[in-house]
Amino acid sequence: MIMKKTEMFVEVDHVQRQKSGNEICGDVFLSRKIKAENRTITVLADGMGSGVKANILATMTASMAMNFISVNSPVEHTARIIMRTLPVDVFRKVSFSSFTIIDVVGNQKVRLIEFGNPLALIWRDGQIYEPRREEIHINEGLLKQTLCTSEFDVSLHDSIVLFSDGITQSGMGNENMPFGWGREQLSGFLIPQLEYHYAMPAGELAERVLRQALKNDHSMARDDMSCGVVSFREPRKILFCTGPPFRKENDAILADQVNNFNGDIIVSGGTTSQILSRILGKEVEVKMDPAFRGLPPASEMEGVSLVTEGILTLGKVSEYLGQIDHLGKEIAGPAGKIISYFSRNDEIIFLVGTRVNDAHQDPKLPVELEIRRNVIKKIARLLEDKFLKKTVINYI
């Protein structure tokens, strides 16, 4: 008997909070997926100090680290170039930025590179797994620093948590943590969080860590705080239906896919929802919520997670995705609800109807159809490139 191989998805998310009194965070978090090589690369850089100067230093560091690692530059070579490029604190003889890099290959092999940041934590089977770290001592001008590298295989439900020292040093001076929260106490915090909810979204876990760090600092961040999470699990899938099928006889195919889908379902468009209502025999109940920023209110249908208006709402979803850096950000209104569902899922399957509206004067130029197609393509591109989701677009 041949056993089916379990599909594994790499989810990456993060949260940040700037030091109290500053308008910008001095930490920078970057992620990139390289489809051709089936790689996911994550970089967290912490610029020395806080504010604009720290952000510039961290941005330079994160960008260089991402670009060099993407082309498989040797780790020591990457570190040396960064050290040469950035200014040096001549008194403390340390670089003006530190970084952590996670390079996931084939969704199962991880290369972890740590330079100056607190060591990352790896949750596995209810405890913290400590990989064998190799130390590389680098002398570059005034600098004498240590680079840690490790390589290991990951398993389903593993989570890697990386953070800046604003997290581990939170609470410093408090009676119960005079030297700060620390990596050991943070480990003790993470284990019960994941023990009973190992499939917790990466963004939710990162948010919980940040909230506790802020609580340690009595809600006034004493330093820039960043927490990123890389999770390995079976993908959660969502079906997004918009637009009526090209042929009316395919309405039944649309209804069948909705009726048999195992996961969240969103229906966007009045005609689409009416087709499903007619074939499945389920009423569409319009919510009496007030219109939000010109968008019609959402509706409800049994067996469907969310029903919304079509083109206007899709346009607003696209706009929001272009503006935000974190999918977990709470946004009011129907478009915000759609983004919330995107946040909780890993693979978004778009089922796009291609019927031409009879009201169009020129059937060779179906304006609404082209708008829908282009907006869906833009949403899918943003979800993949910016938020590392997997998307599939099927036309019907």
3-state secondary structure of 204: helix
- According to the model, what pLDDT value does residue 232 have? 93
- According to the model, what pLDDT value does residue 360 have? 41
pTM for this prediction: 0.84
Q: How far is CA 22 from CA 28, 218, 224, in A?
A: 15, 17, 9
Q: Residues 335, 337, 343, 348: what is their CA dihedral angle, to the nearest 10 degrees?
A: -70
- According to the model, what pLDDT value does residue 77 have? 85
User: Is there a contact between 101 and 147 (Cβ–Cβ < 8 Å)?
Assistant: no
User: Is there a contact between 8 and 201 (Cβ–Cβ < 8 Å)?
Assistant: no
Distance between CA atoms of 252 and 110, rounded to whole angstroms? 45
Structure tokens at 294: 């010109």
- According to the model, what pLDDT value does residue 58 have? 93
Identical fold for domains 9-233 and 237-395, yes or no, is no
Supply the CATH classification number for the domain 9-233.
Answer: 3.60.40.10
User: Is there a contact between 358 and 300 (Cβ–Cβ < 8 Å)?
Assistant: no
* Per-domain boundaries in the chain: 9-233, 237-395
Helix (H) or strand (E) holding 361: none
Supply the CATH classification number for the domain 237-395.
Answer: 3.40.50
Distance between CA atoms of 232 and 152, rounded to whole angstroms? 14
- According to the model, what pLDDT value does residue 93 have? 52
For the chain of 396 residues, list the mean pLDDT of each consecutive stretch of 10.
63 94 94 92 92 92 94 87 72 70 92 94 94 86 80 94 96 89 94 83 92 94 95 93 91 94 94 92 80 77 92 91 83 90 93 69 50 90 93 94
- According to the model, what pLDDT value does residue 150 have? 95
Q: How far is CA 42 from CA 29, 104, 343, in A?
A: 7, 9, 18
Would strands 121-124 and 159-163 be described as parallel, antiparallel, or unpaired?
Answer: antiparallel
Structure tokens at 177: 């943590």
